Amino acid sequence: MRSWPILVALLGLSTSCSFDADVEPTPLFGDAPQTVAIWPFAAGGQPPDSEVWFTGLAYQLGRRGYRVIAPGVSRELLLGSDLAVALEDVEAVGRALAADAVLHVDVRAFESRGEGSLREASWDVAWRLVSTRGQGQQWAHVAHGSWHMADRERLESALGFEDIRGPLPPRSIGGPRVPSFRDVAELLAHLHREAMARLPERADS
């Protein structure tokens, strides 16, 4: 009977991470910002200014209706400002970036394994939207979980597909099958997508 291994694989995945499940946005505190700058340093990331930590984030944030200042642009603006010793002054940062809020990515824990293609990963990542207009932290989301290529392989085998021989091609997210990730950047892009789905859309002004 083939349904039992399928059920076991699916239950194992549901305890480690979710993939594009329907979610309700978490409400914002205060007035919705119009322009959001992505903070160009991922706290806890190694290194914190690596572009990989922000893969796809600007795009997903823009889809929610906000004007976005990408992390590379934010970095250049900050380097060209007089804030070298005043980065904790959120209002001054807001003026330098011409942004109503700053979106921070905190990499509290992240591990990955795989040579050539990603085999497994675990993460604890937080997103924080902080107002530069005196309204404090307006929104936050935390994601922690794990992903294993072995989970995908067991499910493929249970469904009768051929054995996997090498890296898998990218799959669309949201179907009944477990997605594959070729590298860390693809996984982080997916995590950003799920996180931004929980950020309320900005209503048309």
Find residue 128's DSSP bridge partners: 104, 140
Beta strands per DSSP E along the chain:
35-38, 67-69, 101-113, 120-131, 137-148
Name the 3-class secondary structure at 101.
Answer: strand
CATH code where residue 8 lies: 3.40.50.10610
Domain encompassing residue 30: 3-196
- The whole-chain average pLDDT of the chain stands at 80
pLDDT digits (tens, 9 = 90+) for 128-137: 999 999 999 9
How confident is the model over 3-31, as a mean pLDDT? 56
Pairing of β 35-38 and β 67-69 = parallel
Domain assignment of residue 204, yes or no: no
pLDDT digits (tens, 9 = 90+) for 170-198: 444 444 455 678 899 999 999 999 999 99
Domain assignment of residue 205, yes or no: no
Tokens (6 digits) for 99: 């942004």
pLDDT of residue 68 exceeding 80, the answer is yes
Q: Give the chain's domain count.
A: 1
Domain assignment of residue 180, yes or no: yes
DSSP 180: -
Tell me how far CA of residue 33 lies from CA of 8, 23, 54, 98, 143, in angstroms: 44, 22, 20, 12, 23
Cα dihedral 88→138→101→142 (10° resolution):
80
pTM: 0.77
